[in-house]
Amino acid sequence: MKRNQIITLSLLTLIMIAATLGLETARNARESALAAPEPPTLAPTLAIGTSHDPVDQQDADADNEEPSSLAQPEAPSASQESLTGMYTPIAEADSGDAPVDLPGSTALPTRTPGGNTALPTRTPVANPTSAAPPTRTPGANPTSPPLPTSLPPTPTPQTGWAGEWNGYLEQADGSFLVGKLVISLSGEIIFGEFEAQGLTLNLSGALQSAGDLAVGDYSGFLGSGSFKWNARSGGVFQGNLDNKLAFCAARPGVPQPQPCGYFDPL
C-alpha cells in the first residue's frame, strides 16, 4: 500500500513539472512576439496639387521627420539566451546599400546604377588564307608537243650483194638452219660470214655474169666445199652448197624465197 502511494506521488510530481514547463514556454513565446521591432513607417508622399498652406506644410514636415530613435527590443529571457547561445549571431545590416559580409561567401562585384556591365571583347578568328586557284586563260589549251612537220625518211632498201641478210641453210633432214649472213665486196671479190646457233661458216668467191652470180668456196662447221648464189629481184637470192644442199637468203622483212635452192643441171 505504501509503495503504491509513492508511485502515485511521483506521477503527480512529473505532471506538475511538465505543466509548469509548458506554461513557461508559452509565456516566453508570447514575450518574444511582443518584443519584435515593428518595421519603420514610411512618410506619406506629397501628391501633386497639395495645399501650400504654411501650417499644413509644417505638419507634413513633422510627419516626414524620422524618429530620433527606434524602440529597443526587450532583453531576451534566460531560456532564449540558452537557445540562441548555440548559434553564431549575424550582424544586422544598416539601412545603407553596403553588402553584408557573410562567413565563407565571396563578395560580388558592385554594379553601378544606370551602368552596363562590360562584356569581354571577343577577337574574331581569321580564316586561314587559302591558296588562290590558278588563273586559266579562256580558250588556252595545255601546251602539247609540236607535231613533226615531216615523217622520218623511209630506210632505203639495200641493193646488190653487200649488207645483212637472213640466211637459210638446208640440213640433211630437209629442215633449214636460219641465221645471219653478212656479205661484203671488194671490187669483184665477194666475202660472206654465216652465223647460226653459235656455228660459223666463212665464204669467199668472185662475181660472174655481170654480177648476177657469185661462185666460190666455203669452210667452217660443215667442213669445206664450194657454193653458188644466183641473185633474184625483190631482195632475195637462191643457191647451194656443193650443188647438194640449198643455201638462200633474203633481206630483213622479206620472206624466204621459194624455192630456196638453185642447182646446176647434172
CATH number for the domain including 182? 2.40.128
177 domain residue, yes or no: yes
Residue at 55 is within a domain:
no
Residue 28 — very low, low, confident or very high, per pLDDT cuts 50/70/90? confident
Cell numbers found for residue 162: 653487200
Is residue 73 a part of any domain in this protein? Answer: no
Better-scored residue on pLDDT, 9 or 199:
199
Residues 6+ apart with CB under 8 A from 255: none
Q: Name residues whose C-beta falls within 8 Å of residue 170's C-beta, 6 or more positions apart in sequence.
A: 176, 177, 245, 246, 247, 260, 261
What distance in Å separates the CA atoms of residue 10 and residue 3, rounded to the nearest whole number? 11
pLDDT at residue 84 greater than cutoff 50: no
Any domain includes 242 = yes
| Number of independent structural domains in the chain | 1
10 occurs within a structural domain: no
Query: Is 11 within a domain?
Result: no
Q: What is the pLDDT of residues 252-264, one digit of tens each?
A: 999 999 999 999 9
Whether the CB-CB separation of 261 and 247 falls below 8 Å is answered with: yes
Per the structure, the complete domain to which residue 230 belongs is given by 163-250
Model pTM? 0.44
Whether 183 and 162 have beta carbons less than 8 Å apart is answered as: yes
Is residue 201 pLDDT above 90, yes or no?
Answer: yes
Per-chain mean pLDDT for the chain: 74
Alpha-carbon Rg of the chain, whole angstroms? 71
Greater pLDDT, 157 or 16: 16
Query: Among 30-39, 182-191, 233-242, which stretch is predicted with the lowest mean pLDDT?
Result: 30-39
The verdict on residue 211 lying in a domain is yes
Burial of 163 (0-12, 13-18, 19+ CB in 10 A): middle
Q: Is residue 202 part of a domain?
A: yes
